[in-house]
């Protein structure tokens, strides 16, 4: 028997970090879910592991669902609990694992937002025009959008790039993804031009003595953060017909446009850093939907 409290959750998070190598964002999600569970259990008089039963966990998940949480949120919390109870059993603090009897609700998968080629062409035209001023801010805007779309990388991967990670001669960038897994991603000539202009004219204006090896810097000469990078993309896309969207829309667009152009599904999987091919296959559905919409609009007998 051991107390069910936030300290126990913290010990589990340390395990996820050291033994599993989970990303900081994943660790935070687990910690938030499990702290919420512990608070619920404490409120209902369950304060030690020997009192933890499947019914209490189901009651908590039901309360989460009744509060309006999406199926995907409930599914994520269920996964957090299963990982936690499995760890508790392996530590000898549970006689049996109640998480094995916990079913995950099926979440309805929605197709990701994709920015059309026409909209992106207009976006890049405006960004390139603004970058002609050699303003560090405008050069940064252009490079952020270029790299996200050219490589399909996550925004967290983008801000983690160091100068030493770039192979200029082969147009490749070493990125570090989820679980500290590294992969090489290619980029095209437009991104190479934006990169060269940033390195030559933009970054030196922001660099300070305290600046590290980060490729992208903010106005204080520090590594660009995820929130700022997100804000750059969101502000730009909000001015398009697509409306509000974040950096992931560029990742979705890169994958969809590659498949539309005939790229191999496994090659796209490698580019995006997906561990499962099933995750990448969502983009084939996007391509099919776009094909159907085009057919219904253009074919005389649709």
**Given 171, 201, 248, 290, the catalytic residue:** 248
299 is catalytic: no
266 is catalytic: no
Burial 33-58 (b: 16+ CB within 10 A, else e): bbebbbebbeeeebeebeebebebbb
Residue with tokens 């999987």: 269
H or E element that contains 288: helix 282-298
**Given 77, 113, 251, 257, the catalytic residue:** 251
Nearest to 140 by CA among 153, 118, 159, 117: 159
**Given 71, 126, 171, 178, the catalytic residue:** 178
274 is catalytic: yes
Q: Helix count (H) and strand count (E) of the chain?
A: 14, 3
283 is catalytic: yes
Q: Is 240 exposed, middle or buried (0-12, 13-18, 19+ CB in 10 A)?
A: middle
257 is catalytic: no
101 is catalytic: no
Question: What is the distance between the alpha carbons of residues 275 and 132, in angstroms, rounded to a whole number?
Answer: 40
**Given 77, 113, 138, 154, the catalytic residue:** 154
User: Catalytic amino acids?
Assistant: 154, 178, 248, 251, 274, 283
């Amino acid at each position: 028997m051991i107390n069910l409290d936030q300290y126990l959750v913290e010990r589990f998070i340390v395990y996820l970090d050291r033994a599993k190598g989970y990303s900081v964002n994943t660790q935070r999600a687990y910690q938030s879910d499990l702290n919420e569970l512990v608070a619920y259990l404490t409120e209902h008089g369950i304060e030690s592991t020997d009192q933890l039963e499947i019914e209490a966990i189901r009651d908590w998940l039901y309360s989460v669902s009744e509060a309006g949480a999406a199926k995907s949120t409930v599914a994520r919390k269920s996964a957090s609990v299963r990982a936690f109870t499995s760890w508790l059993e392996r530590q000898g603090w549970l006689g049996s694992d109640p998480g094995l009897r916990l079913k995950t609700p099926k979440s309805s998968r929605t197709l990701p937002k994709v920015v059309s080629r026409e909209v992106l062409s207009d976006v890049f035209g405006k960004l390139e025009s603004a970058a002609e001023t050699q303003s560090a801010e405008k050069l940064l805007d252009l490079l952020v959008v270029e790299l996200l779309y050219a490589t399909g990388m996550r925004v967290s991967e983008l801000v983690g790039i160091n100068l030493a990670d770039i192979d200029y001669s082969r147009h490749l960038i070493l990125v570090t993804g989820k679980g500290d897994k590294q992969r090489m991603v290619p980029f095209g000539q437009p991104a190479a031009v934006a990169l060269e202009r940033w390195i030559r004219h933009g970054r030196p204006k922001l660099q300070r003595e305290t600046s590290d090896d980060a490729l992208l810097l903010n106005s204080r000469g520090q590594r660009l953060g995820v929130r700022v990078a997100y804000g750059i993309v969101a502000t730009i896309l909000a001015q398009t017909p697509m409306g509000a969207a974040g950096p992931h829309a560029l990742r979705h667009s890169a994958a969809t446009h590659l498949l539309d152009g005939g790229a191999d599904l496994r090659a796209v999987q490698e580019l995006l850093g997906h561990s499962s091919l099933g995750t990448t296959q969502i983009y084939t559905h996007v391509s099919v939907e776009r094909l159907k919409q085009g057919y219904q609009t253009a074919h005389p007998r649709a």
